[in-house]
Structure 1
Amino acid sequence: MQSIIEKARQIKLLAMDVDGVLTNGSLYFGNSGEEMKAFSILDGLGIKLLRDAGIRPAIITGRSSTLLERRAAELKIDLIYQGREDKLVALEELRADLGLEMAEIAYVGDDLPDLSAIIKAGLGITVANGHSFVARHADWQTDAAGGSGAVREICELILKAQGKLNQAWEQFL
């Protein structure tokens, strides 16, 4: 766990997959063709705390969704890469655009399309319900499942490693 804390100290950007990470991975379709997804409020507050501490959140997803655009706007996430099947290429573009080193980026995903980004990121993470092959290659696996507080757990780990967690919590006293 000490090596995870050391890696988390360097993080300036948290890049996240959506389906299976910010959601539980289920897709809901209505009879009229509408699509629905459920996002965790716990994760949303974690992202806000991270952003307020100066660590940028980003989204890299293989799907494209107006629902995601709405959720990202609510969370003030302006780095959104949708329709990107090759997550590593998108992560490299994001890194270059922001002038970061890979050691300064955490990436969280849950399945095989996320694997190359998880391996190359400074801190590669999967969620509790991530695919077992992905978990074997990740630096860390959360206790919480995707869509059920996993992102909050990651945000708090990064904030704690950087000595910013207590200050983030104290604003609510």
Structure 2
Amino acid sequence: MKKLLREWQWQRQRQALQDLELLVLDVDGVLTDGGLWIDAQGQLLKRFDVRDGLGLRLLQGVGVNLALLSGGQGGATEARAKQLGIRDCLVGIKDKPVALADLQQRLGVTPERTGYLGDDLNDLAVRRSVGLLLAPSDACRPLRQQADAVLNGQGGHGAVRELAERILQARGAWKQLKEQGWRDRND
């Protein structure tokens, strides 16, 4: 029953996925599993899923602007953003709705054409600032309850890739990728 409900949620969101201009992602609990590794020197380490990364590259290829918006900081997020060619990497953010509004204004993107993938209460604060609020399956209950759709995957374990594929499907770009594969042309 839950799977049928989730598929129904996604069908309702198809147009929003087609029209999406900006996808903003929280980091800890979305691009990572939420765990933090700290070495003996106090260096913060994070684990990122490589398939999520390719999903983001595929979205860039169809013109979706990407941004990372995180309350945390420590260098790993910035390094991953640079690897993926994500220019808008906002870390150490205390007020996510204000930072998101500034980003939308700078990029000229309306809230209706903005999607946000988050996992916790501080992400729920952006609800009124986006047209599409999304959550991984292991997000906190209040966020899952208010999200427009909930992914099957967990944060740091394929949720971002799943969302990327759904966006690509809505835009008609997934079939060709699925049949012919993808090559990084280093544009």
TM-score bucket of the superposed structures, by smaller chain: over 0.9
Match of 1:73 in 2: 82
Normalised by the length of structure 2, the TM-score is 0.88
User: How far has the Cα of 1:34 moved from its partner?
Assistant: 1.4
How many Å apart are 1:102 and its aligned residue?
0.9
TM superposition shift of 1:167:
3.1
Partner amino acid for 1:125? L
Distance (Å, rounded) in 2 between the aligned partners of 1:151 and 1:8? 14
CA distance in 2, matches of 1:119, 1:154: 21
Task: State TM-score, norm by structure 1.
Answer: 0.95
Indicate if the aligned counterparts of 1:24 and 1:148 stay in contact, CA closer than 8 A.
Answer: yes
Secondary structure of 1:143's counterpart equals: coil
1:40-79 alignment, distance < 5 Å = 40-79=49-88
Shift of 1:118: 3.6
Which residue is equivalent to 1:89?
98
Within 2, Cα distance between the matches of 1:12 and 1:168?
20
Contact in 2 for aligned 1:53/1:168 (Cα 8 Å): no
In structure 2, C-alpha distance between the alignment counterparts of 1:92 and 1:127, rounded to whole Å: 23
Deviates more, 1:10-19 or 1:115-124: 115-124
Segment of structure 1 superposing worse, 56-65 or 111-120: 111-120
Q: Distance in 2 between matches of 1:99 and 1:53?
A: 18
Structure 2 CA distance for aligned equivalents of residues 53 and 127 of structure 1: 23
Are the counterparts in 1 of residues 37 and 46 from structure 2 also a CA contact under 8 Å? yes
* Residue in structure 1 matched with residue 45 of structure 2 by the alignment: 36
Deviations along 1:8-57, one digit per CA (max 9) or x if unpaired, are 11101110000000000001111221111100011000000000111111
Segment of structure 1 superposing worse, 113-122 or 140-149: 113-122
Aligned to 2:111: 102
Percent identity (aligned): 37
Asked whether the equivalents of residues 22 and 66 of structure 2 are also in contact (C-alpha less than 8 Å), the reply is yes
SS at structure 2 position matched to 1:106: strand
Letter paired with 1:172? G
Alignment of 1:1-173 (within 5 A): 1=9, 2-172=11-181
5+ long unaligned stretches in structure 2: 1-8, 183-187
Alignment RMSD, CA only? Answer: 1.3
Other structure's SS at 1:73 match: helix
The one-letter amino acid paired with 2:92 is G
Q: Distance in 1 between matches of 2:103 and 2:147?
A: 20
User: 1:118, 1:125 within 8 Å by CA — same for their partners in 2?
Assistant: no
Structure 1, gaps ≥5 residues long: none
Give the Cα–Cα distance (whole angstroms) in 2 for the partners of residues 115 and 12 of structure 1.
Answer: 20
Structure 1 Cα separation of the partners of residues 151 and 57 of structure 2: 19
